[in-house]
């Protein structure tokens, strides 16, 4: 009965993000000769926690919040994955993101399984003190599931280095001694790694450069136009890195809409503006650009489109209007399977999320290792190691693509899933 109930919940989900994750998995495993039971096992989350907890607000009132933590796989090691604060968080979304984390870690050969967590909250509606109280109480609910050798949270949408500092302190106060390695993405002055904040965006550009090289595009960067959807932790650093390398970033967007200049935007000025903004958005920005909608931004003519916002942005209803020659996925799950098919037919290459945005978890791994060893690297060392790992992963995906005659997404998933499968076979089924 329990197994049937789990199977029903996994296979009959209506959440579009989880549907996308499952469809991608189903497409990839058809190319692998794996036992049917193993294929089914790898699809299911290993364990899930749902909690409801009270938080005392600044005005003395009490609000109840819901939160989740999902461990998708523990085959390759402790689980790793972010904590997001969003009004739209739900259990199926967290399941999908945890599954993608499993494949992402396997693809770049990190000794982790995938996890994800979240709290249903609009973080910008809370004061700093209320966010601290919420984070500490949520962390206390997770104590049985997290630990430096068990499950290591990190920042995600709506959370940041300060959130991780509160989590680390709460865990440390509970066990009675300081445990910096229980989280990653924390401030440098309490054991964080140099380069962690920039890592996902910077890694996205590493993958963009590899894709351009493999496509034989040798134009000067100033002649290559880049559009970035999302101007948060991933998108803003990707835009900045592309700008620094001389690429023409013609459009960016955030929750307030899109900002477009066909001759190129002043990305440093835009980042400085958001850093000064009370809500850290581009709202009211008066630079040399036109304001457009997010939908219009996705359909702009450009060489490279970097979706670095939410899931499900490129779908069956707009994929035929995408004018980019190359898509590099900075976000998790921005392209639906239906859109993948349309883009394939149109000859538009997509560098998939589990490869293109793996820079964040890679440098999180570096932070974890540095914390365990209590020996820290300089920024140049972090970036050298990051680039080496991502380039090696890109080459392995291209090799799989050539072997199976599939697109890059299928190739990345095949590579990652097979690594988890082979590790499971080697370990055996307990007991």
Rounded CA separation 416/29 (Å): 11
pTM for the whole structure: 0.94
Q: Are residues 182 and 203 in the same domain?
A: no
The CA-based angle 14-17-19, given to 5 degrees, is 50
What size, in residues, is the chain? 431
Same domain membership, residue 219 and residue 324 = yes
Q: Which of 206, 166, 167, 189 is nearest to 382 (CA)?
A: 206
In the predicted model, is pLDDT for residue 6 greater than 70? no
List 260's β-bridge partners, or say none.
251, 290
In degrees and rounded to multiples of 5, residue 291 shows phi and psi of: -90, 135
At 9 the pLDDT is 45
User: Helices (DSSP H) in 14-127: which residue ranges?
Assistant: 16-29, 36-43, 91-107
Taking only the tens place, the pLDDT of each residue in 132-181 is 999 999 999 999 999 999 999 999 999 999 999 999 999 999 999 999 99
Residue 398 in domain: no
Q: What is the mean pLDDT of residues 88-96?
A: 97
Here the CATH number for the domain that contains residue 59 is 3.40.50.10860
Does 178 lie in the same domain as 46?
A: yes
Per-residue pLDDT at 12 exceeds 90: no
Q: What share of the chain is helix, strand, coil (3-state, %, to 5)?
A: 50, 15, 35
- Residue 388 included in any domain: no
pLDDT at 143: 96
Q: Is residue 83 part of a domain?
A: yes
Domain holding 297: CATH number?
3.40.50.720
pLDDT at 184 exceeding the cut of 50: yes
The pair of structure tokens assigned to 124 is: 């910008």
pLDDT tens profile 303-331: 999 999 999 999 999 999 999 999 999 99
- 392-427 pLDDT, tens digit each: 999 999 999 999 999 999 999 999 999 999 999 999
Q: Tell whether 379 is covered by a domain.
A: no
- 164 and 313, same structural domain? no
Residue 234 reports pLDDT greater than 90: yes
DSSP reduced 3-state for 135:
helix
Residues 170, 217 share a domain: no
Within a domain: 387: no
Q: What is the pLDDT of residues 99-112, one digit of tens each?
A: 999 999 999 999 99
pLDDT at 1: 39
Residue 11 pLDDT class (50, 70, 90 cuts) = low
Whether 238 and 332 map to the same domain: the answer is: yes
Q: Does residue 300 share a domain with residue 166? A: no
Q: Tens digits of per-residue pLDDT, 364-384?
A: 999 999 999 999 999 999 999
- Mean of all residue pLDDT scores within the chain: 95
DSSP of 262-290, one letter per residue? Answer: TT---HHHHHHHHHHSTTSS-TT--SS-E
Domain boundary (187, 218, 233) is at 187
Q: Please identify which of the residues 43, 80, 104, 116 carries the catalytic annotation.
A: 116
pLDDT category, 280, cuts 50, 70, 90? confident
Please give the pLDDT value at position 14: 84
Count of the separate structural domains present in the chain: 2
Catalytic-residue membership of 323: no
Is the residue at 317 inside a domain? yes
């Amino acid at each position: 009965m329990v197994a049937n109930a789990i199977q029903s919940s996994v296979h009959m989900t209506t959440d579009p993000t989880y549907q996308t994750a499952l469809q991608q998995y189903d497409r990839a495993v058809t190319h692998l000769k794996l036992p049917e039971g193993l294929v089914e096992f790898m699809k299911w989350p290993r364990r899930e926690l749902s909690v409801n907890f009270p938080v005392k607000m600044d005005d003395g009132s009490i609000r109840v919040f819901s939160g989740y933590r999902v461990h998708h796989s523990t085959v390759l090691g402790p689980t790793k994955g972010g904590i997001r604060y969003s009004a739209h968080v739900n259990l199926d979304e967290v399941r999908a993101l945890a599954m993608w984390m499993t494949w992402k870690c396997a693809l770049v050969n990190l000794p982790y399984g995938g996890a994800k967590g979240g709290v249903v909250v609009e973080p910008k509606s809370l004061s700093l003190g209320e966010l601290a109280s919420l984070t500490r109480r949520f962390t206390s609910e997770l104590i049985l599931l997290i630990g430096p050798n068990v499950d290591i949270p990190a920042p995600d949408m709506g959370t940041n280095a300060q959130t991780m500092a509160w989590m680390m302190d709460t865990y440390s106060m509970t066990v009675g001694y300081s445990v910096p390695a229980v989280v990653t993405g924390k401030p440098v002055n309490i054991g964080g790694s140099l380069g962690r904040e920039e890592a996902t965006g910077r890694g996205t550009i590493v993958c963009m450069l590899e894709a351009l090289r493999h496509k034989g595009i040798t134009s000067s960067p100033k002649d290559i136009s880049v559009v970035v959807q999302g101007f948060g932790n991933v998108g803003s650093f990707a835009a900045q890195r592309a700008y620094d390398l001389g690429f023409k970033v013609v459009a960016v967007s955030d929750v307030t809409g899109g900002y477009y200049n066909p001759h190129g935007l002043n990305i440093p000025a835009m980042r400085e503006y958001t850093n000064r903004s009370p809500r850290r958005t581009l709202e009211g920005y008066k630079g040399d650009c036109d304001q457009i909608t997010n939908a219009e931004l996705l359909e702009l003519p450009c060489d490279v489109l970097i979706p670095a916002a939410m899931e499900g942005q490129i779908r069956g209803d707009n994929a035929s209007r995408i004018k980019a020659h190359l898509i590099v996925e900075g976000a998790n799950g921005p392209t639906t399977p239906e859109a993948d098919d349309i883009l394939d037919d149109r000859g538009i290459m997509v560098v998939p999320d589990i490869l293109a945005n793996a820079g964040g978890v890679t440098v999180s791994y570096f932070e974890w290792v540095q914390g365990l060893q209590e020996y820290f690297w300089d920024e140049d060392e972090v970036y050298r190691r990051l680039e080496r790992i991502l380039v090696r992963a890109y080459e392995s995906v291209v090799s799989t693509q050539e072997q199976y005659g599939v697109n890059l997404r299928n190739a990345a998933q095949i590579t990652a899933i097979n690594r988890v499968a082979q590790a499971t076979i080697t370990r055996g089924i307990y007991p």
